[in-house]
Structure 1
Amino acid sequence: LSNQWVPLWGGVLITIGDTLGFLFLDKYGLRKLEAFFGFLIAIMAVTFGYEYVMVRPNQVQVVKGLFYPYCAGCGQYELLQAVGIVGAVIMPHNIYLHSALVKSRAVDRSRQEEVKEANMYYLIECTIALFVSLLINIFVIAIFGSAFYQKTNKDVYEMCVNTSSPYIHQLQTNGSLDVDIFKGGIVLGCYFGPAALYIWAVGILAAGQSSTMTGTYAGQFVMEGFLKLTWSRFRRVTVTRLFAIVPTVIVAAVKDVSDLSAMNDILNVLQSILLPFALVPILTFTSMPTLMREFTNGRLGKALGLLISLLVFGVNVYLIVVYVEDLKQVYLYALAAIISAVYLLFLAYLVWKGLVFTGMTCGSRGQDHHFTHQLLRD
């Protein structure tokens, strides 16, 4: 957006100030903050929708892909992208955030009728939000799939060299095209003009602000709920932002934008790997009759939750296997094997505990019942 006037590390530092400013909107009421989130989402929908119309993907194939997610000749690279999409869309920290935001609603939880009514309205709210999120992701994936998939760097370079794009030096001339959100904007600008480039940039900016704010808020709720830290709002926001911003500033200062984009892709995959640690507890708690009473998950909800969890586990295990196969050094094999074993063992322990707390008697111990009573007391 600055036409390279602002250095990469400078842009990262700017996000500290604007994010802090946006986060203090909750001082004027949660509804105003939610309205601002809605504004950012609307910007994403409009900007990415514009790019979708410009690219004009095959509508039949897009609809088919929604119900039959298959592509001919796809392999490990495409699966890695799919795992990254799962991590980017179903962010683990957003599960904590939504759980905390439910508590902000003025509902008399001692009255079953009011809780049912609140659940209905929250279901409508979440359905609308997820539907808009689905549209945005359809736009982005279809744009990348139609405009960039199976293209070579030479194809794109020859298209861009005939334009006045100031970012032509960011493109290579050999090998297959490896597109990220930065190069995607450059190529869209070459194909459809500067307007497409800047509209894409505005959409990415809105997406980044929204993601940053939700991550920071989730960090605050985790600090308050799990760590029992009753800090001031400014102190909480500052500390949680520093945890994320310091590594980003370092990478931005010593590397270029392609490295930062690669780090973003890795973080999306890591979020998918970490997803079970948020997914299993939330399914466990909502399936506990002693905790949820008449609002406990039904059999269909439990079955769907289990199916989705197993799917996420399976994809993550496959991802680990693929990653280990690509390692060349023996000590890296050993390190990866240890980390993978710890990850899988902890997942198994988490699932076992979840089954115990939801009613399985085999393997349960007295301290499990003590934990349940303590949870109900809190």
Structure 2
Amino acid sequence: MKTERDGDVLEESPQEPGLYSPVSPLPQDQPVSTYFEEKVPIPEDDRAKMFSFRKLWAFTGPGFLMSIAYLDPGNIESDLQSGAKAGFKLLWVLLGSTIIGLLLQRLAARLGVVTGMHLAEVCNRHYPMVPRIILWLMVELAIIGSDMQEVIGCAIAFNLLSVGRIPLWAGVLITIIDTFVFLFLDKYGLRKLEAFFGFLITIMAISFGYEYVRVAPDQAEVLKGMFVPYCSGCGPVQLEQAVGIVGAVIMPHNIYLHSALVKSRDINRGNKKEVKEANKYYFIESTIALFVSFLINVFVVAVFAEAFYGKTNMEVGQQCNASGSPHSDLFPANNETLEVDIYKGV
């Protein structure tokens, strides 16, 4: 059957075998339920224009919400350990992981735009019961493993920011509460939620960027570590850290999230031009968001590499005393190689 919409003639068939399985033979145009009650409208610009900042702004949001997962406490801990144990030598692993993450996020966004379903809905409609249950359990375990780091990391952050006045158990409770608060923020408007997370990312970029400029690491070494895929003098410790970087950056539940977030825009999936346009702007927006998150991660790695790589406990303790830090007692007065974690590092 042929239909004509906005001057585009689309070929349609009652059933598309590539999109459906015998498990759930539902037609493509059947409305799919979505988490978002309201969808963001896309402005109508001149179709002859190759690029429109107004449309890019309308599509901006899902990529930055997704990119928060690249800046969580687990990533900060991974960056810290990478800088402390390998200096700038593993920056190329971070770069490669971010590029692979961008490709996966692009595929996830395209899936949501083209099918109108997020990845979980597609898996539910395509796979029999046993694979669906296995996928669900695997993703749940991945989320639990990731969230354990986030909760503990946030609790440590509250403890440090309050100079010990908020104990770790109270920080955990606060983190649990604010998680549920974020779940209800989009009820006040999705664009407000996106703007709020954009504001948080901006604060992180300014804060870590300031520390990077203040520390002033050797730029030649930073660029060498970023673009030369080699790690001289590295051993099992650095290899383990490289694997940790990949695991911290590429997370399966973030792919599910991105495929759902792109459904928040009002896109006519029956119009081929609108679908292509949405995929283009989502890719541009995701690239910008992940580039910003990559820069922040580089700032963190470089700062901690400059501060801790190749240092002993005594050297770092003396630096803390010289700067008047109240946490100099965390580093014993010996010449053993420094063992640092997110609590000591921050």
Instruction: Using structure 1 for the length normalisation, give the TM-score.
Output: 0.47
Letter of the 2:280 counterpart:
M
Correspondence 1:119 to 2:279: yes
Equivalent residue for 1:170? 330
* 2:192 aligned partner: 32
User: CA distance change for structure 1 residues 55 and 163 in 2, over 3 Å: closer, same or farther?
Assistant: closer
What is the CA-CA distance between 1:104 and the residue it aligns to? Answer: 2.0
Cα deviation code 1:124-174 (max 9, x no counterpart): 110100110110111011112222111111211122234532222222334
What is the match of residue 86 of structure 1? Answer: 246
**For 1:104 and 1:72, how far apart are their aligned partners in 2?**
46
2:293 match: secondary structure: helix
Q: Give, as a single letter, the amino acid of the residue that structure 2 aligns with 1:43.
A: I
Q: Does the C-alpha gap of structure 1 residues 145 and 69 become closer, same or farther in structure 2, counting only changes over 3 Å? A: farther
Partner of 1:192: none
Per-residue CA deviation, residues 343-367 of structure 1 (Å, 9 max, x unaligned), is xxxxxxxxxxxxxxxxxxxxxxxxx
Correspondence for 1:184: 345
Cα deviation digits, residues 35-78 of structure 1 (max 9, x gap): 11111111111111111111111101111222113332111111
Partner deviation per Cα, 1:288-345 (whole Å, 9 max, x = no partner): xxxxxxxxxxxxxxxxxxxxxxxxxxxxxxxxxxxxxxxxxxxxxxxxxxxxxxxxxx
Aligned counterparts, 1:361-372, within 5 A: none
Query: 1:4 offset after TM fit, Å?
Result: 0.6
Paired letter, 1:42: T
> Aligned with 1:155: secondary structure?
helix
Select the residue among 214, 221, 224 that pairs with 1:61. Answer: 221
How far apart, CA to CA, are the structure 2 residues paired with 1:132 and 1:30? 21
Distance 2:231 2:215 in 1: 19
Q: Is residue 155 of structure 1 aligned with residue 315 of structure 2?
A: yes
Matched residue, 2:259: 99
One-letter code of the match for 1:181?
I
Deviation at 1:112, TM superposition (A): 0.9
TM-score normalised according to structure 2 size: 0.51
Provide the residue aligned with 1:298 in structure 2: none
CA shift in 2, pair 1:70/1:172, >3 Å:
farther
Matches within 5 A, 1:72-83: 72-83=232-243
Which whole-Å CA distance do the structure 2 matches of 1:163 and 1:56 have between them? 17
- The higher-RCO structure (CA 8 Å, 6+ apart) is 2
Cα distance in 2, alignment partners of residues 22 and 122 from structure 1: 23
**C-alpha contact (below 8 Å) 2:317/2:329 kept by paired residues:** no
Aligned length: 185
- Secondary structure at the residue paired with 2:274? helix
Distance 2:217 2:229 in 1: 16
Taking the TM superposition and a 5 Å limit, the aligned residue runs for 1:112-261 are 112-174=272-334, 175-185=336-346
Paired residues of 2:208 and 2:299 also in contact (CA < 8 A): yes
Distance of 1:123 and 1:158 partners within structure 2 = 47
User: Which residues of structure 2 form unaligned runs of 5+?
Assistant: 1-160
CA distance in 2, matches of 1:54, 1:119: 39
Across the aligned residues of Structure 1 and Structure 2, the Cα RMSD in angstroms comes to: 1.6
Q: State the distance in 2 between where 1:89 and 1:41 align.
A: 16
What is the aligned partner in structure 1 of residue 149 from structure 2? Answer: none
Residue 3 of structure 2 is aligned to residue 3 of structure 1: no
Runs of at least 5 residues in structure 1 that lack an aligned partner in the other structure: 186-378
Alpha-carbon distance between aligned partners in 2 of 1:69 and 1:30, rounded to the nearest angstrom: 41
